[in-house]
Structures are given as structure tokens and as C-alpha cells.
């Protein structure tokens, strides 16, 4: 039986699309906003739609920031989708800037600038 994959619900995501995609490939997603489920997850998906500022505010309001950081430190499978990927970085300069989860080094704008330089 495949591991249960937690899809983090913080009212800012393309949850059903992620859930259906995982089910289509035979996975068992659990869509939840429970910080304890994040801590126990075997694998985790952090979706997101909107601005990084709004998404970080919603994660903090649900007590999910520290559980997400602890989960990432455990080196279990972790996938960020759309803004969920952006939130994994130190910060985002979008909308005046916001501190993000700090799981990946650099800010979102710095990463995009680096990509632009490499593609020249």
C-alpha cells in the first residue's frame, strides 16, 4: 500500500487539483490543516495560489509554520507546488517582501534573477 501523502490545506491552494493528481497515480492523499498530521506525514505536498505574503499569513494563523520546518528538517519527501514552492525559500520579494519558511536558501526574486543570468 502506498504511503499516505499529506496535502496541506491552509485556504490558499489548488487542493483538489493536487488531490486528484495524486489519486490518479494511485496515491492516498490526506487533505488537512492539522499540524499534527504534518508532523506524522510520510510525504507532504504544500500547494499554494496567491501571494507569498497571504500564504505565509495563513500558514502562521493555522500554526503550520513550525511543523512544516520540522518536517522539512526530517528529510522526508516534501513537494511545493506553485506558491507552495516559493514558500520553501528564505523569503519572497513579491509585494514588498515577506519572510518565508527558510527551507531553501535565497529569496524568490534572487532565484529568478539567477535563472535569467544563466539563460543568457
Whether the per-residue pLDDT at 110 is higher than 60: the answer is no
Chain segment 22-39, per-residue pLDDT in tens: 999 999 899 999 999 999
Q: pTM of this prediction?
A: 0.85
Q: In whole angstroms, how far apart are CA 48 and each of 22, 59, 90, 102?
A: 16, 11, 16, 16
Residue 34 in grid coordinates? 492539522
Q: State yes or no: pLDDT of 107 exceeds 60.
A: yes
Q: How far apart are CA 117 and CA 111, in angstroms?
A: 10
Length of the chain equals 120
Question: All 3 cell numbers of residue 57?
Answer: 499569513
Burial level of 44, CB count in 10 A (0-12/13-18/19+)? buried
Strands 4-8 and 28-32: parallel
For residue 96, what pLDDT is reported?
A: 78
Tally: H helices and E strands in the chain: 6, 7
Q: How confident is the model over 107-119, as a mean pLDDT?
A: 61
- Domains of the chain and CATH, by start: 4-118 (3.40.50.880)
Amino acid at each position: 500500500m502506498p504511503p499516505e501523502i499529506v496535502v496541506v490545506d491552509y485556504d490558499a491552494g489548488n487542493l483538489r487539483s493536487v488531490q486528484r493528481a495524486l489519486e490518479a497515480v494511485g496515491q492516498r492523499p490526506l487533505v488537512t490543516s492539522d499540524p499534527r498530521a504534518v508532523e506524522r506525514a510520510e510525504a507532504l505536498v504544500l500547494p499554494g495560489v496567491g501571494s507569498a505574503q497571504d500564504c505565509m499569513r495563513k500558514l502562521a494563523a493555522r500554526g503550520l509554520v513550525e511543523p512544516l520546518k520540522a518536517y522539512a528538517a526530517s528529510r522526508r519527501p516534501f513537494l511545493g507546488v506553485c506558491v507552495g514552492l516559493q514558500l520553501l525559500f528564505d523569503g519572497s520579494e513579491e509585494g514588498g517582501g515577506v519572510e518565508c519558511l527558510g527551507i531553501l536558501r535565497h529569496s524568490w526574486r534572487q532565484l529568478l534573477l539567477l535563472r535569467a543570468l544563466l539563460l543568457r
